[in-house]
Amino acid sequence: MCHGLRWMLGVVGVVTCAAVIGGVTASAQWQLTNTDGFGVDANSTWEMVLFNDVVYAGTESPGAVYRLGNPTDPTMFWWREVSLPTTIPGMAGTFRIDAVRSMAVFAAAGARWPSLYVAVSGEDTGNRRSKCVVLRTENGVSWSASGDTWDIADQGEIQDMIVFDGRLYATMGDTQRLHPEYARVLRTSTDGLRWEVAVPGGSLALGAGDFYFGTLEVFGGALYAGTSGFNEVDVHDPTHTSEIWRTTNGTSWTRVGELSSPTMAEVESMAVFRNHLYVGTKNHPPTPEAAAGPELWRTSDGTTWERLDTRWEFDRDALHVDVLVAYPDEEGALYAGLGSPYAHLYRSVDGETWTAITPPEIRDHPEHGNYLVGALLGAGEYVFMATGFNNIAGRGTQVWRLSSLRTDVGPCLATHDGEPVLFHRIPDPEENVAETVYRDHALLALEPVHDENVYRSSAFTDTQPAAYGYSHCGMVLCDRYLQLVYTGHNNDGVWVTQKRSPGRGWFWDTPVSIPGAATRCAPGATAYDWAGVTGPQLTVAYTDRDSQRIRLRVRQGDAWSRAYDLPAAAVTANGPEIVSFDGDLYVFYRGAGSDNALYVAKKTSSRLSDGSWGISGLPRAFTRASNADRAVTSAVVDGRLVVAYVGHNNDYVWLRATRDGVTWDRLGYVDHVLTEHTPALTVHGDTLYLAFTAAGGTEICFGTLEIDFDNPHDTPGHRWQSLRPIGTSCCSNCILRIMDVIFPELMVPTPEPED
């Protein structure tokens, strides 16, 4: 949005826009996908690739390859070790793998399918010699050695691999004794079955202190390579220059860049982004006072290099840009993984300004030992981040997944176990209900709702889910439950699952359907203390599929009550909202057909068999027709029952509130919030949270809402503040609404009055 406003607003507009975005907390939705270093305390993950729709990760100490499964299928995370061969032709004994240095996917000429190539280093136990070999597979199961086996002490080991001009290229160098004559470039034959020397050792005139090519990248039809040298320049040569070389034919190389600074050590990473080649470096200051952070360089023509000023962008304590990855997410972004003293992750949409999106467990706890970013990978709608050099026993390398936060129906909020919990339906074709918790000032994604006894997710819907968390303490036990209710995605059933903790961690029960309940609309759910039953019982309201009457069902232990109908006047094509407030039960619904008015049915009796309800209309409240969303959302705030809904002829969120369930205050609408779906409310402590799907998109906006109970009707008021990075659709709406005070010509049209 900032770039889009520059031509209209000039310098002042840019400053205003930057101030608005800069004030947003840079939290992200993160998932930790593995535990305890894949269960073996593996030290580092050096490479991740996507092969046949499966994520593969290569580790060190011990060296192994693990596969995740289809990364676009949000199931529970099940990493499985891949069985690599231990008998290699030409080796005297069993091959014990110590490290996976590099992986690449390459479709050789004439091959029907692409193959996965894995460069591994280890020990030939027959003669105790360190060896390097490239393993190859077409299916992830059957493996063979691709070409030669190299003796590391005499020939070096492979550092990086990349596909260029119909061949797979690899760089080789000596990391043990630092012999520059070992620096070579290898490439496969065109059929991918053999390796040949493209550039022999000793033929490259590398600069002083450079020993091999450490990283490769393809840019503008040429292959680029960055040199690797001394790690600690203060011990050696503080004027050391890191070099960039390139080739157009794979055999003839030319030096095209000499990057130099007082703390430069080596080229650490490369990536192509927005018609530029970016280079990240490793920097080691001679003294702590000389620390200036890692460096980022770029070129648009391959020969003219520009050093970007990242002093105010990157953490000054970081020493190296371990990984650069350009991944085309919704905006198109460049990701930078920095290392030392702990792993950092940054994201940029322009290549110049950066936002820190480091997982909070790493950012806030550097003692966990996540020293660097070993690998980054974009797959589907996810970005994977792997850490390295984790030195805390029992933890090992970690692989995190940065998930999008999207839905094409209204989201759902609940409070459970002292935390706000967000549920949202992942858009087509997956339809899973995903669970995200707001913890430690960051949104942390949990697995999609699943039965602990099955591998796949088990909650699927095409409507807005409903959730209710409550605690009930009896004479002996205190029960804490989180109930999730939703309409089946391929049937008309109403499904229920609950999350509970019997002393061995929270898990979801196997979903069950409510017998005889059939609806095509989003259901509502609450906990209500019915007469004769100990403690609050889950009470579900739904629109009957055939009659459009609103019905109630109550969970009584492991059974369900029969269906209880609301009065015949309570007919709707929308999903109802149900809430317990001050001992009474309320059901909100939109009128049937073209009746956009909102109604509330109030039940003052706590007996199910009592069919008396009082029905009235909310004062001048209108909403749009939707069977995918409930009519309203509700929460109890400051002794009031508050409902929020979307206007019938605009995208604003309107509020009504009552203290007694009879008199309703008209509170206008929420400023700078636009949505086409029913939002969600929940309260934790003294804080009210509001989540909504941004108008015109699927991005979920999550934040706090401060209600002004004196705000006049039909006017904007109330302060919503985001607690996550604002996506494109959220950003533009929020900024325009905030800026209309400064730039009246950009004012968002005021919605038509509800009167």
Secondary structure string (H, E, C) spanning 259-295: EECCCEEEEEEEEEECCEEEEEEEECCCCHHHCCCCC
163-217: per-residue pLDDT in tens? 999 999 999 998 777 788 889 999 999 899 999 999 998 888 888 778 889 999 9
Residue 639: band (very low, low, confident or very high) from pLDDT cuts 50, 70, 90: very high
Angle between helices 728-739 and 2-22 (to 10 degrees): 80
Of all residues in the chain, the percent with pLDDT exceeding 90 is: 55
**Amino acid identity at 113:** W
Residue 538: predicted pLDDT: 92
Q: What tokens appear for 298 in the block?
A: 């770029």
Average pLDDT over residues 268-288: 88
- Per the prediction, the chain carries an average pLDDT of 84
Q: Rounded mean pLDDT of 449-462?
A: 74
Beta strands in 359-500 (DSSP E): 372-379, 382-388, 399-402, 412-416, 419-425, 433-439, 442-445, 466-473, 478-487, 493-500
Q: Which residues contact 241 (CB under 8 A, 6 or more apart)?
A: 207, 258, 259, 260, 264
Q: Which residues of 253-289 are buried (b: 16+ CB within 10 A; e: fewer)?
A: beebbebebebbbbbbbbbbbeebbbbbbbbbbeeee
Asked whether residue 747 carries a pLDDT value surpassing 50, the answer given is: no
| Lowest mean per-residue pLDDT among 147-151, 153-157, 736-740 | 736-740
CA-based nearest residue to 153, from 136, 137, 173, 130: 130
H or E element: which one contains 738?
A: helix 728-739
- Reduce the DSSP state of residue 143 to 3 states and report it: strand
pLDDT in tens, 584-618: 999 999 999 999 999 999 998 888 889 899 999 99
User: What is the per-residue pLDDT for 176?
Assistant: 75
**DSSP single-letter state for residue 64:** E
CA distance 58 to 53: 16
Q: How confident is the model at residue 312 (pLDDT cuts 50, 70, 90)?
A: confident
pLDDT exceeds 60 at position 558 = yes
pLDDT of residue 5: 22
**Which band of pLDDT confidence, cut at 50, 70 and 90, is reported for residue 458?**
confident
On the question of pLDDT at 266 being above 90, the answer is no
Q: Which two tokens stand for residue 76?
A: 């529970």
Which pTM value belongs to this model? Answer: 0.72
Residue 507: exposure state from Cβ atoms within 10 A (0-12, 13-18, ≥19): middle
Higher pLDDT, 11 or 637: 637
**CA pair distance 755, 752, nearest whole angstrom:** 9
Decide if pLDDT at 331 tops 90: no
Mean pLDDT of all residues in 677-697: 94
Q: How do the domains of the chain map onto residue ranges?
A: 412-725
Report whether 20 contacts 734 (CB < 8 A).
yes
From residue 100, how far is each of 85, 231, 736 by CA, in Å?
A: 13, 21, 50
Pair 536, 469: CB distance under 8 Å: no
Cβ atoms within 10 Å of 503's Cβ, excluding its own = 4
> What span, in angstroms and rounded, lies between the C-alpha atoms of 275 and 219?
9
HEC assignment per residue over 350-362: CCCCCEECCCHHH
Domain 412-725 has CATH 3.80.30.20: no
**pLDDT of 643 higher than 80:** yes
- Of 432-436, 513-517, 521-525, 533-537, the poorest mean pLDDT is in 533-537
* Rounded-to-10 torsion of CA 633, 636, 641, 643: -20
CB 324 within 8 A of CB 333: no
pLDDT of 310 reads 87
Q: Is the pLDDT of residue 10 over 50?
A: no
- Can you give the pLDDT at residue 292? 66
10 three-class SS: helix
Q: What is the pLDDT of residues 59-83, one digit of tens each?
A: 999 999 999 875 555 445 678 999 9
Using CA atoms, how far apart are residues 358 and 344, in angstroms rounded to an integer? 5
- pLDDT of 505 reads 63
More confident residue, 199 or 371: 199
Contact 635, 691 (CB under 8 A): no
Contact indicator for 372, 322 with CB cutoff of 8 Å:
yes
Is the pLDDT reported for residue 355 higher than 60? yes
Cβ proximity of 484 and 432 under 8 Å: no
Q: How confident is the model at residue 644 (pLDDT cuts 50, 70, 90)?
A: very high
Residue-wise pLDDT for 124-147, tens only, equals 999 999 999 999 999 999 999 988
The pLDDT of residue 521: 96
Question: Which residues lie closer than 8 Å to 8 by C-beta, 6 or more apart?
Answer: 746
pLDDT, average across residues 311-320: 82
Residue ranges of alpha helices (H) inside 364-488 are none
Sorting pLDDT into bands at 50, 70 and 90, what band is 744? very low
Stretch 396-408: mean pLDDT: 86
Beta bridge partners of 575: 630
Give the three-state DSSP class for 535: coil
The H or E element containing residue 11 is helix 2-22
| Strands of the sheet with 382-388, listed across from one edge | 372-379, 382-388, 399-402, 30-32, 442-445, 433-439, 419-425, 412-416
> Above 60 in pLDDT, residue 749?
no
pLDDT of residue 4 exceeding 50, the answer is no
How remote is the C-alpha of 67 from its chain's centroid?
A: 19
Q: What tokens appear for 746 in the block?
A: 């950009």
